[in-house]
């Protein structure tokens, strides 16, 4: 039975933070999807109280940030300690606030149109050119309107 647990878990570690294991039962608090199925798309928010949440893409992570109380009653965006996204090419967690995000590309995530995170601008630019991306934006430039437009893009 232990081998089943190990088979269906993904270890995530970064910098000074302790390693966190994505379990087979972890669900995105925004859409309810099982996150372990999409390791290439994982995003994570760590709160100051030690709690953490995984997402099946940056888009749902931003939805949580923009309406924290809706998805985690009793918490606020001000109680977020750290935010991570998975670099599309390297498939490793990076700091979400320093990432470069490509929007409007022809690559779909688990929940459709998505923000694709990259650790550097060169990688984001290469991806944008190869996959018909619309633009590259930074964390502070992401707005609820941008997120909503991704959900309604055809």
Is residue 127 over pLDDT 70? Answer: yes
Residue 20 is predicted with a pLDDT of: 66
| Angle, in degrees to the nearest 10, between helices 144-151 and 58-66 | 140
Return the bridge partners of 44, or none.
54, 84
Q: Which residue has the tokens 């995984």?
A: 54
DSSP for 10-23 reads EEEEETTEEEEEEP
**pLDDT band at 1; cut points 50, 70, 90:** very low
**pLDDT band at 2; cut points 50, 70, 90:** very low
Q: Give the residue among 5, 67, 59 at the shortest CA–CA distance from 36.
A: 5
**CA dihedral angle for residue 48, residue 52, residue 55, residue 58, rounded to 10 degrees:** 20
Are the C-beta atoms of 10 and 20 separated by less than 8 Å?
no
Residue ranges per domain, the chain? 2-151
User: How confident is the model over 80-91, as pLDDT tens digits?
Assistant: 999 999 999 999
Residue 22 is predicted with a pLDDT of: 87
Residue 18 is predicted with a pLDDT of: 43
User: How confident is the model over 86-115, as pLDDT tens digits?
Assistant: 999 999 999 999 999 999 999 999 999 999
Are the C-beta atoms of 65 and 53 separated by less than 8 Å?
no
Are the C-beta atoms of 131 and 106 separated by less than 8 Å?
yes
Record the pTM. 0.86
Are the C-beta atoms of 94 and 117 separated by less than 8 Å?
yes
């Amino acid at each position: 039975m232990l081998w089943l647990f190990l088979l269906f878990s993904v270890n995530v570690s970064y910098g000074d933070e302790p390693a966190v294991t994505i379990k087979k039962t972890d669900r995105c608090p925004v859409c309810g999807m099982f996150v372990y199925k999409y390791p290439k798309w994982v995003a994570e928010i760590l709160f100051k109280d030690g709690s953490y949440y995984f997402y099946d893409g940056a888009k749902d992570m931003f939805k949580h940030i923009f309406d924290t109380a809706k998805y985690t009653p009793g918490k606020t965006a001000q109680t977020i300690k750290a935010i991570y996204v998975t670099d599309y090419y390297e498939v490793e967690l990076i700091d979400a606030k320093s990432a470069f995000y490509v929007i409007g590309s022809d690559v779909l995530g688990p929940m459709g149109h998505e923000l694709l995170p990259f650790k550097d601008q060169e990688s984001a630019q290469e991806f944008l050119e190869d996959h018909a991306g619309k633009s590259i934006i930074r964390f502070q430039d992401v707005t609820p309107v941008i997120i909503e437009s991704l959900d309604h893009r055809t």
